[in-house]
Structures are given as C-alpha cells and as structure tokens.
Amino acid sequence: SKLLEIRGLRARIANGREVLKGIDLDVAAGEVHAIMGPNGAGKSTLSSVLAGKPGYEVTGGTVRYLGQDLLAMPADERAREGVFLAFQYPVEIPGVNNMYFLRAALNAGRRQRGQAELDAQQFLKAVRERLKLLDIGDDLLRRAVNVGFSGGEKKRNEIFQMAMLEPNLAILDETDSGLDIDALRAVSDGVNRLRDPARAIVMITHYQRLLDYIVPDRVHVLADGRIVASGDKTFAAELERTGYAYLGDAA
C-alpha cells in the first residue's frame, strides 16, 4: 500500500524562485528510499516541504500521506500524524533535556492516535528499550538536546528520537556536511534497526557509501527540481561509477 504519493509537486522559497518543478514519488510502507543528486537540486527543499517547515510555498501538485492531504496539515499536525524529519527540531536548547522534550512529543502523537499518554514510569521503560535496541549508553539522556554533541552523537540522538516517536514516515536529510565514520555507523545501524513493515524511510544523502550499509529498496536522483532517474539498490553503485553527468542537462 502507498504510504506517500507525491504528484507533480512544485514549490518555491517564499518570495523566491521555484525550486521543486514537478516531483513524482511513491513510497510504500516498509520501504527505504534514497534520494541523491547534485548540490542545489532541491533535496532539502523537498524534505522541508513534506515536513511543513515555514519559508516555502507550494505552487502546485499534491501529496497524499496515509490517504490524507498532507499539504493541508500544519507542521505540528504532520508530526503528530507520524511524519518525522531529522533536523526539524532546534539544534541547541540549553537546559531542556532529551527526556522532557521527547515525552512531550511522544504524548502529542499518542493523543492524536487516540492512545493513552505514557506516564513517567512507562516512558522511562520505553526509553530503556529503545536505548538497548540502538545500543546507546544512557548518558545521552542527561545531556541537553544537541548541546556539545559530536557529529556521531548528534546522529545517534536523531536516530534515538526517531525510535521514540515511532514515525510512519521518517525523512533523514544528511545535509551537505561530511559524515565521519562514527556518524556513518550511527545512521546506518540505527536506520537498519528501525526498518519496519509499517514504516517508510526516505534518506537524502550524498554518500554512496552509506548505501553500502543501508541497502535501499529504491534509489532516486533529484536534479533541478525533478526526479530524473530511479532504480533499485544497484543503481547507487552505477551512480558511483558514472556520476550525475550522464543525466545531461537535467543534472
């Protein structure tokens, strides 16, 4: 079944030029999709538009998420409905600790789904289970969100947030900055453990190497605001050899 159906999605930076020029993408539950492509193609814009981040204006097309009109929902509702974008939360919030922050976000989602909220004790139990699953030490929890984290720790923290919030659609935008080996391992181990028949994961990445560790079901190239090529897991290796040049003017 299709969890996400994007048809002809067009969007621009508020008061700026059009960056997404007609995106078509289908993602089924249980699948991992990788989106690659040259810098400036619109990959981060796509993730922002899906998460409902402010500063972007949709100028055409539709997005269905679990049968609902995703673009009609405010950003916080999308989050409660199970759309998770790593990096959507503030990078530094001194004094706010992971536990408090996550419990509030988790319970907002549970209310939305008509489930009982977790009390402190139930929440702690859930935290311990996820930490174990992800092989993370519990010192992570005592630190303020992202304050003083190394690259690998930030990634581990994001994956932990994702594990706690149990999204149906997780969008991981790895940005343009290099992943060190710690971060690469944190992302790939975490993502592999969080693969689930009910969950789709869309990974935006520059790093072909990451796809040696996380074997995607589909690989897409986004160039100049459109998805210009798609393939199965072998497509990433092909891109590694050929680069984006053969896509011609589109890239």
Site residues for ligand ADP per CB under 6 A: 13, 16, 19, 37, 39-45, 55
Stretch that binds Mg ion, among 12-20, 35-43, 149-157, 185-193 (CB under 5 A): 35-43
At 251 the three-state DSSP class reads: coil
Q: Report what 42 binds from ligand ADP, Mg ion, none; CB cut-off 5-8 Å by kind.
A: ligand ADP
CB of 45 to ligand ADP, least distance (A): 3
For 35-70, b/e burial (b = at least 16 CB within 10 A) is bbbbeebbbbbbbbbbbbbeebeeeebebbbbeeeb
Local structure of 83: helix, strand or coil: strand
Do 35 and 96 contact (CB within 8 A), yes or no? Answer: no
- Lookup: tokens for 14: 């508020």
- Least Å from the CB of residue 245 to ligand ADP: 17
> Would you say 15 or 39 has its CB closer to Mg ion?
39
Say which entry of ligand ADP, Mg ion, none residue 1 contacts (CB below 5 to 8 A, set by partner kind). none
Q: Applying CB under 5 A, does 39 fall inside the site for Mg ion?
A: yes
178 binds, among Mg ion, ligand ADP, none (CB under 5 to 8 A by kind): none
CB closer to Mg ion out of 109 and 225: 225
48 binds Mg ion (CB under 5 A): no
**Among 95, 97, 117, CA closest to 161:** 97
Angle at 24 between CA 172 and CA 244, to 5 degrees: 70
Q: Which of residues 140-199 bind Mg ion (CB under 5 A)?
A: 176
